[in-house]
């Protein structure tokens, strides 16, 4: 039975998901062996008290390598798509051909619209020989056509894959379930918690040395008043810089979106 031309691209995305699955399992074992904890020291002479994360090493570089391979497979599958369309159209393939991803519209004197400028310029080089309908579809998928180009999956994929080619992706421990933090604080019979506020945001709050996790007010009911912490701090892993970090689930979502995008081009291969 003959294979579909897109099977190779699907295999690349399968491999990307396998990398993320391994990353998920290894990060889970890391947290099991070295759980994140909270510095729960409180001062009953004051009102509100702040709980913090004590010293913690960043995730090991191997996890960044797994994330980087997933990004590579997803980004390169788009390059393979362009070459497949050229092969089907019996057009010459060159090193200049690529799947363009533009966060901002391209400029061209005399163009009647952003779409006209993009299509005209891309058909001269990056998409030369690609069917006209496919070029128009690629233009519609550009980040600059979305409400938030910086967070669009193609922008994130392109920028993170580019970063990974030149340096190790930064890995971070981040909060995975801020609402669960409250359940970790357990008052003994000699105290009660009268106020609590989490200071974390899911997927975006770093869990590193000195991170403020929560603020709580404690009312002592006896001289033996005490509050304990039961359980480990819920955590996830994310990659990126301090301005934008993509949690593990976000990497899975990128792969899903790339699969859907490739499916739009079946008619051209």
Percent of the chain with pLDDT over 70: 95
Band of pLDDT at residue 152, cut at 50, 70 and 90: very high
Task: Give the H or E element holding residue 88.
Answer: helix 61-88
Backbone angles phi, psi at 45, to 5 degrees: -85, -15
Give 51-68 pLDDT, tens digit per residue: 888 877 889 999 999 999
Give 15-58 pLDDT, tens digit per residue: 999 999 999 999 999 999 988 888 876 666 667 888 888 877 88
| The pLDDT of residue 202 | 87
Mean of pLDDT over the chain: 91
Paired tokens of 217: 């007010």
| The pLDDT of residue 204 | 79
For 4, 35, 133, the CA distances from 212, given in Å and listed in that order, are 52, 17, 52
Backbone angles phi, psi at 239, to 5 degrees: -130, 145
Does the pLDDT value for residue 88 go beyond 70?
Answer: yes
| The pLDDT of residue 59 | 93
Give 169-206 pLDDT, tens digit per residue: 999 999 999 989 888 888 777 778 888 999 998 887 88
Give 214-235 pLDDT, tens digit per residue: 988 887 777 766 677 778 889 9
Give the integer Cα–Cα distance in Å for 9 and 6: 5
Mean pLDDT on 71-92: 97
Q: Could you give the 3-state DSSP secondary structure of residue 220?
A: strand
Band of pLDDT at residue 136, cut at 50, 70 and 90: very high
Give 227-267 pLDDT, tens digit per residue: 777 788 899 999 987 667 899 999 999 999 999 999 999 99
Using only C-alpha atoms, the chain has a radius of gyration, in whole angstroms, of 25
| The pLDDT of residue 89 | 94
């Amino acid at each position: 039975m003959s294979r579909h031309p897109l099977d190779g691209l699907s295999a690349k995305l399968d491999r990307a998901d396998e990398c993320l699955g391994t990353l998920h399992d290894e990060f889970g074992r890391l947290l099991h062996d070295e759980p994140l904890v909270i510095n729960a020291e409180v001062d009953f002479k004051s009102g509100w008290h702040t709980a913090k994360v004590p010293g913690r090493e960043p995730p090991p570089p191997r996890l960044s390598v797994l994330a980087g391979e997933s990004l590579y497979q997803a980004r390169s599958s788009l390059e393979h798509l362009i070459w497949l369309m050229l092969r089907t159209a019996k057009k010459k393939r060159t090193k200049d051909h690529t799947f363009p991803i533009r966060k901002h519209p391209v400029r061209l004197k005399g163009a009647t619209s952003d779409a006209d400028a993009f299509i005209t310029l891309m058909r001269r080089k990056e998409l030369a020989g690609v069917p006209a309908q496919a070029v128009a579809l690629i233009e519609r998928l550009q980040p600059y056509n979305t409400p938030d180009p910086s967070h669009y999956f193609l922008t994130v994929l392109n920028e993170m894959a580019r970063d990974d080619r030149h340096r190790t992706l930064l890995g971070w421990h981040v909060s995975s379930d801020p609402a669960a933090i409250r359940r970790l604080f357990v008052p003994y019979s000699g105290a009660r918690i009268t106020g609590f506020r989490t200071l974390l945001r899911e997927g975006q709050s770093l869990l590193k040395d000195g991170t403020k996790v929560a603020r709580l007010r404690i009312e002592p009911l006896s001289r033996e008043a005490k509050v304990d912490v039961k359980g480990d701090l819920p955590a996830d892993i994310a990659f990126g810089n301090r301005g934008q970090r993509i949690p593990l689930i976000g990497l899975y979502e990128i792969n899903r979106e790339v699969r859907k995008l490739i499916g739009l081009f079946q008619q051209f291969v």
